[in-house]
Amino acid sequence: MLEGLIVKALSGYYYVKPLREGLISGKEPSVQCRGRGIFKKRGESPLVGDRVRYSLTENGEGTVDEILPRSSQLIRPQVANVGLAVLLFSVREPDMNLLLLDKFLVHIEHAGLDALILITKQDLAGSEDHSAERVKELYESIGYQVIITSSLLGTGTEEVKQRLAGEISVFSGQSGVGKSSLLNALVPGLTLETSEISMRLGRGRHTTRHVELIELDNGGFVADTPGFSQLDFMELGIEELTGCFREFTAYAEECKFRGCSHTHEPGCRVLQAKEEGKVAESRYRHYLEFFTEIKDMKRRY
């Protein structure tokens, strides 16, 4: 039986890239496959990013027979075996949205993935605009890798490509930040549809309609996924939120009360760290917003 990687799922078909000795055979075309009926009976479904065993049929197509064990599985977007989440937020058009960035980071931490933050469209920043550098400094101090990029100027493209080598990465972020433009720059010959920004709405039209793995020439794959404008916390509990803020962890262990919410309790080390400037004001403010959102949501349900 043959082994391969599902690089696209569309209209009931799975497009499987052959594996040779555990490595992707880049020169070979994908095989169009159907899934076995047994998957439906078991309530299983092959996902983009799955390593699978498949067999060829007489008409040159194939059948996915077995899904190999997954290292990770995302629900939205539905991708398996992702190791890195790449978050794109632009300097301008649309303006930087740190609340949304922190919301993405909470979900990524909860999913147990590594995160790479890309600040895009640096070419639109004026000479007096140092917002990208300030954001980079803040999030690097927390422990995230941040790269400032410009697809127009080619800034940061090679550094991004090196980080994606050998990984299945998922690209996400605010709509209209230049995901497709960056992917076009990363993969010569790729011509993903890009979209102009609606200045009235301050966001772009979604140009990505389905999840598909785009192959890089260094063993990496990028899942180009639909843009998101909002996320909810249905899968996240209040008690899990603290652990999704990296810089809170060490201080939370020293709080006076077990199960401290870090909102009002005496002897709260997180609050103290915030007052001392060791936790950024914006990060703590966003924590409170998410805390309230989760609390209200749990109350409603």
Query: Has residue 231 been placed in a domain?
Result: no
Average pLDDT over residues 39-62: 92
Tell me which H or E stretch contains 282.
helix 281-300
Structure tokens at 138: 């803040």
pLDDT cut 90: percent of the chain above it: 55
In angstroms, rounded to a whole number, what is the distance separating the alpha carbons of residues 209 and 193?
A: 11
pLDDT at 196 (0 to 100): 39
Choosing from 68, 102, 124, the residue where a domain stops is 68
Greater model confidence, 86 or 228? 86
CATH of the domain at 34: 2.40.50.140
Q: What is the pLDDT of residues 271-301, one digit of tens each?
A: 999 999 999 999 999 999 999 999 888 777 6
Diameter of the chain measured on Cα atoms: 71
Which contacts (CB < 8 Å, 24+ apart) does range 98-104 have? 98/135, 98/282, 98/286, 99/286, 99/289, 100/174, 102/282, 102/283, 102/286, 102/290, 103/231, 103/286, 103/290, 104/172, 104/173, 104/228, 104/231
Binding residues: 120-123, 173-181, 255, 260, 262, 268
Neighbours of 102 (CB within 10 A): 19
Query: Strands 84-90, 13-20: parallel, antiparallel or unpaired by DSSP?
Result: unpaired
pLDDT at 256 (0 to 100): 95
How many helices (H) and strands (E) would you count in the chain? 9, 16
Query: Has residue 145 been placed in a domain?
Result: yes
Which contacts (CB < 8 Å, 24+ apart) does range 99-105 have? 99/286, 99/289, 100/174, 102/282, 102/283, 102/286, 102/290, 103/231, 103/286, 103/290, 104/172, 104/173, 104/228, 104/231, 105/144, 105/244
Instruction: Note whether 50 and 113 are same-domain residues.
Output: no
Q: Say what the pTM is.
A: 0.84
pLDDT at 3 (0 to 100): 94
Pick the range with the lowest mean pLDDT from 141-150, 169-178, 225-234.
Answer: 225-234
Average pLDDT over residues 165-184: 85
Structure tokens at 160: 């991004």
In angstroms, rounded to a whole number, what is the distance separating the alpha carbons of residues 89 and 178?
A: 9
Average pLDDT over residues 77-81: 86
Instruction: Note whether 86 and 208 are same-domain residues.
Output: yes
pLDDT at 230 (0 to 100): 45
pLDDT cut 70: percent of the chain above it: 87
Above 50 in pLDDT, residue 208?
no
Instruction: Note whether 22 and 116 are same-domain residues.
Output: no
The position carrying tokens 């349900």 is 301
Binding residues for GTP: 120-123, 173-181
Binding residues for Zn(2+): 255, 260, 262, 268
Query: Has residue 73 been placed in a domain?
Result: no
Instruction: Note whether 171 and 38 are same-domain residues.
Output: no
Q: What is the pLDDT of residues 181-205, one digit of tens each?
A: 888 888 877 766 544 333 333 334 4
Helix axis angle, 281-300 to 131-142, nearest 10° = 70
Query: Has residue 230 been placed in a domain?
Result: no
- Give the dihedral of Cα atoms 224, 131, 124, 89; nearest 10 deg: 10
Q: What is the pLDDT of residues 83-139, one digit of tens each?
A: 999 999 999 888 899 999 999 999 899 888 899 999 999 988 887 888 999 999 999
Choosing from 224, 253, 273, the residue where a domain stops is 224
- Where does the pLDDT of residue 178 fall: very low under 50, low under 70, confident under 90, or very high at 90 and above? confident
